[in-house]
Structure 1
Amino acid sequence: MGQETVLSGEEAAEVFAYADPIADNLMQGFNDGNYTVYSRDFGPEMRQALDEAAFVQNREDVTSRIGLYESRSDPVVTEIGEFVAVTYRAAFEQEDGVALRLVFKKGDESHQLYGLWFNSPKLRS
C-alpha cells in the first residue's frame, strides 16, 4: 500500500464534503439493520464482499459487543497510494473511541466506498 499521509486544509475539507453524508447514511442503515441504506454507496467490490447475509452477521457481531452507533468526531483524512481514507472516532452504546474507517478511491467522482472497518479493543477481543 505504501506510506499513509495525513491530509489537511482544503484537501481534507473536500473529502469531508462527500464522506460525512456517506458516513451518516451508512451508520443510519447500520443502526436500522437496513442493508439497502447501509450499502447505498458501496462500490461493486464492496457490494460483492459484504452482501446482505454478511451484513446481518457483521452487524450482529458488532452490536452484541458494543451496541448501536451513537455519534462520531475527530475525523482524520489520510492518503495511501490511489486511495483516501477517513477515520472517525465513533461512540457506540457500550464503547467510545471506536475507529470507523471509510476508504475511497482518489479521482472517483461517484465517491463509492472501497473499504469499511470498525476497530476497537472490544471488537478485537
Structure 2
Amino acid sequence: MSVDPARTPHRAEHAGHAYFFCGARCRERFIAEPARFIPGDQSSERSSPTPFVAGAKWTCPMHPEIVRDGPGACPVCGMALEPLTPVAGEEPENPELRDMTRRLWVAAAPSVPLLASAMGRQAIAPLPP
C-alpha cells in the first residue's frame, strides 16, 4: 500500500527515518514493535543481482523501449531491468532465480500425489495384448 506523506496525519520516526501510515492502528502497531515490521538488513534484498557497470544502459525484457542508466524496476510492469550489454565474468547469485526455483518445487510437491491418485489405476493395470 502506498501512502501520500503530505496528506496522512499518521507518522512515526524510528532510527532517524520517518514512516507514514494509512491509519492510527497501523501506526500504533509499528510503534509498539518496530522490529517486527523492519527487517534487520534490507540491503541484500534491494541490491542488484547483476553487477553495475558505469555507463551501461539497462532495459526491461518485456518493454524494450524503456532504457535507463542504471538498475531498477520497469515503470510499466515492475520487472527488474537487465543490462543491454551482458557483463563478462562469474554470475552472482540471482535472488529472482532462487525464488522461482523454490516456487517450482513448492508447486510440484502436491502434484505428485494428485498424479498418483488420478492415474494410479491406469499405471498399475496390465497392458492389453
Bigger strand fraction: 1
User: Which is higher, the Rg of structure 1 or of structure 2?
Assistant: 2
TM-score relative to the length of structure 2 = 0.23
